[in-house]
Amino acid sequence: MYDLLYLVFAFPLAGFLVLAFARGRVGERLAAAIGVGSVGLSALLTAALAGQFLSHPPAGGAYTQTLWHWMSAGAFDVRFALRLDGLSLSMMGVITGVGFLIHLFAAWYMRGDEGYARFFSYMNLFVASMLFLVLGDSLLFLYLGWEGVGLCSYLLIGFWYKDPANGAAARKAFVVTRVGDTLFAIGLFLLFHSLGTLDIQQALSLAPQQFAPGSPTVTLITLLLLGGAVGKSAQLPLQTWLPDAMAGPTPVSALIHAATMVTAGVYLVARTHTLYELAPFSLHLVGGVGAVTLLLAGFSALVQTDIKRVLAYSTMSQIGYMFLAEGAGAFQPAIFHLMTHAFFKALLFLAAGAVILACHHEQDIFKMGGLRKKLPLAYACFLVGGGALAAFPYLTAGFYSKDEILWQAYASGHIGLFWAGLFGAFLTSIYTFRLIFIVFHGEYRGHGEVHAGHGLAYGLPLVVLLILSTFVGGMIHQPLSGVLPANPAEEGGALQQQVAALSGAVAIAGIALAGALFLGERRFVARLAQSAPGRWLSRWWFAAFGFDWLYDRLFVRPFLYVTRVNAADVFDLAVAGIATGLRALYRGSVRSENGRLRWYAASMAAGAVLVIAAVIYL
């Protein structure tokens, strides 16, 4: 059974190849069948593997499948190997399960688009790369998958490439994450330099012998890896690309920019947790980055008017929770939240996609309103998904994971992180229900008839994700105990009950406040927004604290300035000089090829004379 592991990513890869080589000559039905079917097969296989893993766990809690030795010349040996353990199984479940549902939804969502087959080929390539990322046994292959998902993200953000704004958004995402990737790559080199291996398990077992806790090298390595992680996961200070990434089709936002790729940073930190445990400073920084990001993103989400941007900021904020949990040493709750978040955020994005299509590609929430009767399924999805996002107590999946994070932060003594998380939860419930109340309550303010979607491809993914976003999803147990360190704090006890009650109360209070502010007439909000500090704050938050502005001033403009000033500088001259020199060398040497037989013979004779002279006199 386990030896079928490679098929999990082989199916989507095959789907990609078939669709890519068909070059758009397949019809929609066939493209959907291939694109959705391949991921569906992966999901089925993952389910079977999970069953096997839980009933008959492999020896040592992990199964390694060596696909092949790439090459071994001298001491250098590289192998392609996949590793199935609790962590990669959990990730695989999310990627293939949620991925399949989103593919299915996309089959409905993308109908009529001229790039239908192209869309599914990219999506399949993405799923294959993402699986490669989580299954790769070596950091080298993790990096390969890492770049692969980055490429797919770029291709899919700019999927509607005819609008230059989409291209710009894609480029921005690519460039910003590239900054992180570069740091990541340097970190890998450094790791290889100090441990002599990129094999993950080997590196993790060697690290404690090689590095003293808190040593500068391991701190530097973990910081560089963190650079990659914050880039991919849109955390401070490389978070600015994610809201713009919403330019892609909505299923892309659901799959890549909510459920899977953006959580790769969380996965990376969890995978290399041994290194972070050796570098307490880096681990603290992970928590700090998460806490600050979740607050900033929460404030920004409060004032957004684009339905997808609200969700994008909420994604940043939720990933902030995962980083926060990892910073507190609670790796298992982080991965747990990763999963529940994938369920409810995918649900919210798909439902948002349904709303957007129903309103004729309208994304401004203030041009919607009163949709609860016209789109009852989308409304239900938003209620449950939003409840889970706001961690509505006991009924939703989000509550279980977020409460676990808060409890671990509190109990392990990270009081600052705890309060930040708690306040963030309050913000979350406000902006989430602000969104729901504005979109689904009140009067319809849009143009044109609202028409709900229908069909299996439309309904099934929503319903399944809806169920998973309730407490059902919270009941799923992930087999992480062998892979990730135990939680820092004990479970149970009265104290945990109190923390749970507190966080539940905060969530409900936030919902209530949102109801008071945004249900019915919004006079108070309007007055608040009109006031001078209110205007200033909302503008500031709307622009996500002006990071784009800041980066534009700090990096982009100076860089452009420097390039302009330096258009003909010494470096340029040196580079141009090499080119000119080579050209001159070419012109000089090409004269030797004058086509004359006697000259050629003479060159041979001269060569022979030189060779003989060399062997005589050397």
Partner 1 sequence: MTEATTLPLEHALILSGILFALGLLGILARRNVLFVLMSIEIMMNAAALAFVAAGSRWHAADGQILFILILTLAASEASVGLALVLQIYRRFGTLDTDAAGELKG
Partner 2 sequence: MEFAFDLSAAVAVIATLLAISSLDPVHALLYLIVSLLAVAMVFFAIGAPFAGILEVIVYAGAIMVLFVFVVMMLNLGRAAVEQERRWLTPRVWAGPAVLALVLLAELLHVLGRMPAAAGIGEGTIGARAVGAALFGPYLLAVELGSMLLLAALVAAFHLGRNE
Partner 3 sequence: MNAMFTTAQWLALSPILIVSATIVGAMIAVAFRRHHWWNATLVAVGLNLALLAATWLVLPLLVDGLPVAWQAPLHALLGPSPLPQFVTPLLVIDSYAAFYMGLVLAAALATATLSYAYMEGHKGNQEEVYLLLALSTLGGLVVVCSRHFAAFFIGLELLSIPLYGMVGYLVRERRSLEASVKYLVLSAVASAFILFGMALIYSQTGTLLFAEIGARAAAVAGAGQTILLVGGGLLLAGIAFKLSLAPFHLWTPDVYEGAPAPVTAYLATASKTAVFALLLRYYVEARGYDHRALIDVLSAIAILSIVIGNVLALLQDNLKRLLAYSSIAHFGYVLVAFIAAGPLAVEAVGVYLLTYVVTTLAAFGVVTMMSSPYRDHDADTLWDYRGLFWRRPYLTAILTVALLSLAGIPLTAGFIGKFYAVAAGVDKNLWLLLAVLVLGSAIGLYYYLRAMVQLYLRAPWVRRYAAPLNWARGTGGIMLLALMLLMLWLGVYPTPFIAVVQAAVLGGQ
Binding site for partner 1 (CB under 8 A): 590, 593-598, 601-602, 605
Of residues 415 and 609, the one with the C-beta less far from partner 2: 609
Of residues 48 and 611, the one with the C-beta less far from partner 3: 611
Of residues 209 and 594, the one with the C-beta less far from partner 2: 594
Residues 6+ apart with CB under 8 A from 502: 422
**Angle subtended at Cα 262 by Cα 378 and Cα 467, rounded to the nearest 5 degrees:** 35
76 alpha-carbon distance from chain centroid: 32
Of residues 66 and 603, the one with the C-beta less far from partner 2: 603
Single out the segment in contact with partner 2 by CB under 8 A; choices: 76-84, 97-105, 170-178, 597-605.
597-605
DSSP output for 42-93: HHHHHHHHHHHHHHSPPGGG-EEEEEEEEEEETTEEEEEEEEE-HHHHHHHH
Of residues 564 and 598, the one with the C-beta less far from partner 1: 598
CB of 615 to partner 1, least distance (A): 16
Single out the segment in contact with partner 2 by CB under 8 A; choices: 84-92, 489-497, 559-567, 602-610.
602-610
DSSP output for 561-578: HHHHHTTT-HHHHHHHHH
- The answer to whether the beta carbons of residues 317 and 299 sit under 8 Å apart is no
CB of 5 to partner 3, least distance (A): 17
Residues 6+ apart with CB under 8 A from 328: 287, 405, 408, 409, 412, 414, 417, 488
Q: Which of residues 577-616 bind partner 3 (CB under 8 A)?
A: 582-583, 585-586, 589-590, 592-593, 595, 597, 599-601, 603-608, 610-612, 614-616
495 binding partner (options partner 2, partner 3, partner 1, none; Cβ < 5 to 8 Å by kind): none
| Candidate residues 60, 68, 567, 568; the one interacting with partner 3 per rule CB under 8 A | 68
Q: Which of residues 313-352 bind partner 2 (CB under 8 A)?
A: none
Residues 6+ apart with CB under 8 A from 466: 347, 380, 381, 384, 385
What mask of x and - would describe binding to partner 3 in positions 280 to 319, judged by CB under 8 A?
----------------------------------------
CB of 612 to partner 1, least distance (A): 11
DSSP output for 496-564: HHHHHHHHHHHHHHHHHHHHHHHSS--HHHHHHHHSHHHHHHHHHHHTGGGHHHHHIIIIIHHHHHHHH
Q: Is 306 helix (H, G, I), strand (E, B) or coil?
A: strand
Of residues 75 and 590, the one with the C-beta less far from partner 1: 590
Single out the segment in contact with partner 2 by CB under 8 A; choices: 275-283, 296-304, 511-519, 609-617.
609-617
CB of 605 to partner 1, least distance (A): 6
- The answer to whether the beta carbons of residues 435 and 387 sit under 8 Å apart is no
Rounded to whole angstroms, how far apart are CA atoms 479 and 461? Answer: 25
Residue 616 touches partner 2, criterion: CB under 8 A: yes
Q: Which two tokens stand for residue 560?
A: 């452009």
CB of 614 to partner 1, least distance (A): 18
CB of 162 to partner 3, least distance (A): 18
CB of 45 to partner 3, least distance (A): 23
Q: What is the H or E stretch that residue 236 is in?
A: none
Of residues 559 and 599, the one with the C-beta less far from partner 1: 599
Of residues 532 and 616, the one with the C-beta less far from partner 2: 616
* Burial class, 70, CB count within 10 angstroms (exposed 0-12 / middle 13-18 / buried 19+): exposed
CB of 73 to partner 3, least distance (A): 4
- The answer to whether the beta carbons of residues 385 and 351 sit under 8 Å apart is yes
| Candidate residues 59, 76, 164, 477; the one interacting with partner 3 per rule CB under 8 A | 76
CB of 166 to partner 1, least distance (A): 47
CB of 584 to partner 1, least distance (A): 16
Of residues 55 and 589, the one with the C-beta less far from partner 3: 589
**Angle subtended at Cα 197 by Cα 191 and Cα 201, rounded to the nearest 5 degrees:** 100
- The answer to whether the beta carbons of residues 282 and 226 sit under 8 Å apart is yes
618 binding partner (options partner 1, partner 3, partner 2, none; Cβ < 5 to 8 Å by kind): partner 3
Residue 612 touches partner 2, criterion: CB under 8 A: yes
Rounded to whole angstroms, how far apart are CA atoms 298 and 511? Answer: 14
CB of 592 to partner 2, least distance (A): 15
- The answer to whether the beta carbons of residues 507 and 406 sit under 8 Å apart is no
Rounded to whole angstroms, how far apart are CA atoms 294 and 317? Answer: 4
Rounded to whole angstroms, how far apart are CA atoms 66 and 437? Answer: 52
CB of 165 to partner 3, least distance (A): 26
55 binding partner (options partner 1, partner 3, partner 2, none; Cβ < 5 to 8 Å by kind): none
Helix ranges (DSSP H) in 391-414? 397-411
DSSP output for 545-562: GGHHHHHIIIIIHHHHHH
Of residues 162 and 591, the one with the C-beta less far from partner 2: 591
| Candidate residues 223, 229, 598, 600; the one interacting with partner 2 per rule CB under 8 A | 598
Cα distances from 306 to residues 1, 410, 438, in angstroms, run 46, 34, 12
* Burial class, 591, CB count within 10 angstroms (exposed 0-12 / middle 13-18 / buried 19+): exposed
Residue 55 touches partner 3, criterion: CB under 8 A: no
| Candidate residues 3, 55, 71, 162; the one interacting with partner 3 per rule CB under 8 A | 71
Radius of gyration of the chain (CA): 27
Single out the segment in contact with partner 3 by CB under 8 A; choices: 70-78, 127-135, 187-195, 398-406.
70-78
The site for partner 3, by CB under 8 A, has a size of: 34
What mask of x and - would describe binding to partner 3 in positions 543 to 582, judged by CB under 8 A?
---------------------------------------x
Rounded to whole angstroms, how far apart are CA atoms 613 and 521? Answer: 101
What mask of x and - would describe binding to partner 2 in positions 438 to 457, judged by CB under 8 A?
--------------------
Summarize as ranges the residues that interact with partner 2 (CB under 8 A).
Answer: 598, 602, 605-606, 608-609, 612-613, 616
Summarize as ranges the residues that interact with partner 3 (CB under 8 A).
Answer: 68-74, 76, 582-583, 585-586, 589-590, 592-593, 595, 597, 599-601, 603-608, 610-612, 614-616, 618
